[in-house]
């Protein structure tokens, strides 16, 4: 900027000396932005700009498979950034994004900005969005952020990161002791560093960065709140329906990774070389670390160099990042997963399966849970089981973590409670109501498509949620009271603070289980 100022001054002096006027400088092209690795050309619309598919790290292929992310190589010329980059490798069985390319070279991100206004616009605060999908599926490209950036007047960055076995395999032969697994989490940290180093060129403020995510993305945010390598990379956090307690411990992850390698034909004397020599398509099947009933997760590993301590433990010990946190759940989280089970099998759970589901999920506490949630109190096994997981695994656990975090920083807790939220077509065919299920709040913030249009009241709720989220990204305060004053219930007939969250979700019972 100093060099440019001197050049303009010299031009003016020469013009005056020659008795002529200086030529006006052409306005910069809003579609072209310089990054640390080269310029990119995006798309400019009336209400937003989009720069898509920007590499933030080197392709993690060949010898870089199961290595930490390396810097992206520079390019010559202006790179096209008008189309999303490839999704990371994932199992295509039941794929919801058919037709979208998957590739091992997938470490790219998308930058959504408001339209450029004025010669020196004020830098915008930034939300870095980490997608969900149980750490085995999903991508950054389904989160159309134009409403968030236009109404919220913020910048949104959506990120791809390595998934499944390529992102989280913790085979001990892949690196030094304790340094295996968590490659996908390290990718997210690399993306946050890219934002720190580049976002100013897009009109963003690197001193106001909020890391945010839903489901597995929210669990990732919990991890970043306690991971040493994430310290200082963000200034606030948003945790939407996060299973902050669902990481694998390193011994479990290593054992399951050894089994995975053996099944892939790499159980011999040089497993790392064998694994890195496999075609990427042979690694689409995830390595599973964590079970919840009939559903499973891959993902981060605790007791490792990247994530030494499990987030709930660090929260309780006051060792999380001291930044404002916006945290919440949906009213009927687990109905999504029992609905998906029904769609897979074509039938509901039978009554005799209820004890098994509870035992698989709650272990030795299953008999107490069954006594507290008897089948006679519900219209189906699916809804009974969904209530136990919604209350015990999401709602009351989240409320407890919010209380722990509030000991050292401001925390705001919400519950999305639109039980008529628009749901994708398949979910409307199951024989029980899914209500305000897991992930259904996302379309109130992003244009995700795939569901009936919202009602006028739901449109207003979406606008209110965008205002809350954007206010939090800008100031660290969403505009409603903190956790000590209750829970913000987000409803289309009028959002309001409630004080009966613990009663509705039976939190005294769940907290008593320890």
Q: What is the pLDDT of residues 490-514, one digit of tens each?
A: 999 999 999 999 999 999 999 999 6
In a domain, 513, yes or no: no
The Cα 175–Cα 462 span in angstroms is 45
Does the active-site annotation cover 438? yes
pLDDT band at 297 (very low <50, low <70, confident <90, very high): confident
In a domain, 276, yes or no: yes
The Cα 270–Cα 60 span in angstroms is 20
The residue annotated as part of the active site, out of 140, 145, 215, 439, is 215
CATH number of residue 225's parent domain: 3.40.50.1820
Residue with token string 């303009």: 8
* pLDDT for the residue numbered 4: 34
In a domain, 263, yes or no: yes
Q: What is the secondary structure of 441-469 as a DSSP string? A: TGGGTSB--SSPPPPHHHHHHHHHHHHHH
In a domain, 90, yes or no: yes
In a domain, 67, yes or no: yes
* pLDDT for the residue numbered 456: 97
Average pLDDT over residues 198-216: 98
* pLDDT for the residue numbered 308: 97
More confident residue, 292 or 514: 292
Average pLDDT over residues 359-385: 97
The residue annotated as part of the active site, out of 48, 171, 342, 438, is 438
Q: What is the pLDDT of residues 314-360, one digit of tens each?
A: 999 999 999 999 999 999 999 999 999 999 888 889 999 999 999 99
> What is the CB neighbour count within 10 angstroms for residue 130?
31
* pLDDT for the residue numbered 295: 78
Instruction: Say if residue 24's pLDDT is above 70.
Output: no
Asked whether 326 and 218 are in contact (CB, 8 A), the reply is: no
Q: What is the pLDDT of residues 396-405, one digit of tens each?
A: 999 999 999 9
* pLDDT for the residue numbered 93: 80
The pTM for the full model equals 0.93
Q: What is the pLDDT of residues 155-164, one digit of tens each?
A: 999 999 999 9
* pLDDT for the residue numbered 98: 57
Q: What is the pLDDT of residues 67-107, one digit of tens each?
A: 999 999 999 999 999 999 999 999 988 666 656 789 999 99
> What is the CB neighbour count within 10 angstroms for residue 319?
14
How many percent of the chain have pLDDT more than 90? 87
Does the active-site annotation cover 463? no
Strands (E), 45-184: 49-55, 79-80, 87-88, 102-103, 108-113, 124-130, 155-159
Instruction: Say if residue 148's pLDDT is above 60.
Output: yes
User: Which residues neighbour 293 within 8 Å (Cβ) at sequence distance 6 or greater?
Assistant: 337, 357, 360, 361, 385, 389
Number of domains in the chain: 1
Q: What is the pLDDT of residues 352-364, one digit of tens each?
A: 999 999 999 999 9
Does the active-site annotation cover 495? no
Give the domain extent around 230: 32-323
Q: What is the pLDDT of residues 36-46, one digit of tens each?
A: 999 999 999 99
Instruction: Say if residue 302's pLDDT is above 80.
Output: yes
Tokens of 209: 């960065």
Average pLDDT over residues 175-198: 96
* pLDDT for the residue numbered 14: 30
* pLDDT for the residue numbered 10: 31
| DSSP H or E segment with residue 6 | helix 2-17
In a domain, 491, yes or no: no
Average pLDDT over residues 378-393: 97
Average pLDDT over residues 277-299: 90
In a domain, 171, yes or no: yes
Residue with token string 């690795």: 37
Residue with token string 């998957």: 102
In a domain, 96, yes or no: yes
Tokens of 53: 């598919």
Q: What is the 3-state secondary structure (H, E, C) of 187-227?
A: HHHHHHHHHHHHHHHHCEEEEEEEEEEECHHHHHHHHHHHC
When the pLDDT of each residue in the chain is averaged and rounded to a whole number, the result is 92
The residue annotated as part of the active site, out of 104, 214, 254, 333, is 333
376, exposed or middle or buried, with CB in 10 Å at 0-12, 13-18, 19+?
A: exposed
* pLDDT for the residue numbered 292: 83
């Amino acid at each position: 900027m100093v060099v440019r100022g001197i050049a303009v001054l010299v031009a003016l002096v020469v013009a005056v000396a020659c008795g002529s006027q200086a030529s006006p400088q052409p306005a910069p092209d809003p579609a072209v932005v310089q990054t640390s690795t080269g310029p990119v050309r995006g798309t400019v619309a009336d209400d937003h700009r989009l720069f898509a598919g920007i590499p933030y790290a080197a392709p993690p292929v060949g010898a870089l498979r199961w290595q930490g992310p390396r810097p992206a190589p520079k390019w010559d010329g202006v790179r096209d950034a008008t189309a999303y980059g490839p999704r990371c490798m994932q199992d295509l069985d039941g794929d919801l994004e058919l037709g979208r390319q998957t590739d091992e070279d997938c470490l790219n991100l998308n930058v959504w900005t408001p339209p450029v206004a004025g010669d020196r616009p004020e830098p915008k605060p930034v939300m870095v969005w980490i997608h969900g999908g149980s750490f085995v599926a999903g991508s950054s490209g389904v989160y159309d952020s134009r409403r968030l950036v236009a109404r919220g007047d913020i910048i949104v960055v959506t990120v791809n990161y390595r998934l499944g076995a390529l992102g989280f395999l913790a085979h001990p032969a892949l690196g030094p002791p304790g340094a295996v697994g968590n490659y996908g989490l390290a990718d997210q940290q690399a993306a946050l560093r890219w934002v720190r180093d580049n976002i100013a060129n897009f009109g963003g403020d690197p001193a106001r960065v909020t890391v945010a995510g839903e489901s597995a993305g929210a669990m990732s945010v919990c991890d970043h709140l306690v991971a040493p390598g994430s310290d200082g990379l963000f200034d606030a956090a948003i945790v939407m329906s996060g299973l902050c307690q669902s990481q694998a411990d390193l011994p479990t992850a290593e054992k399951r990774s050894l089994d995975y390698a053996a099944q892939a034909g790499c159980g011999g004397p040089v497993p790392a070389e064998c694994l890195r020599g496999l075609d990427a398509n042979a690694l689409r099947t995830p390595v599973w670390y964590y079970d919840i009933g009939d559903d499973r997760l891959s993902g981060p590993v605790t007791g490792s160099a990247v994530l030494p301590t499990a987030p709930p433990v660090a929260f309780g010990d006051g060792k999380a990042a001291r930044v404002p946190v916006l945290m919440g759940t949906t009213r009927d989280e687990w109905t999504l997963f029992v609905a998906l089970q029904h769609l897979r099998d074509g039938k509901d759970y039978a009554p005799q399966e209820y004890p098994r589901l509870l035992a698989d999920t709650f272990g030795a506490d299953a008999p107490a849970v069954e006594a507290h949630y008897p089948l006679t109190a519900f219209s189906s096994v699916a809804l009974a089981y969904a209530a136990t997981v919604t209350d015990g695994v999401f709602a009351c656990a989240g409320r407890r973590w919010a209380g722990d975090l509030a000991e050292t920083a401001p925390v705001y807790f919400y519950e999305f409670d639109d039980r008529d939220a628009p749901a994708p077509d398949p979910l409307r065919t199951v024989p029980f109501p899914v209500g305000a299920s897991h992930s259904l709040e996302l379309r109130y913030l992003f244009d995700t498509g795939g569901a009936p249009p919202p009602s006028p009241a739901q449109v207003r709720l979406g606008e209110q949620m965008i205002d809350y989220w954007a206010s939090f990204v800008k100031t660290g305060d969403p505009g409603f009271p903190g956790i000590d004053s209750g829970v913000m219930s987000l409803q289309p007939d009028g959002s309001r603070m409630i004080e009966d969250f613990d009663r509705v979700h039976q939190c005294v019972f769940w907290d008593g289980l320890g």
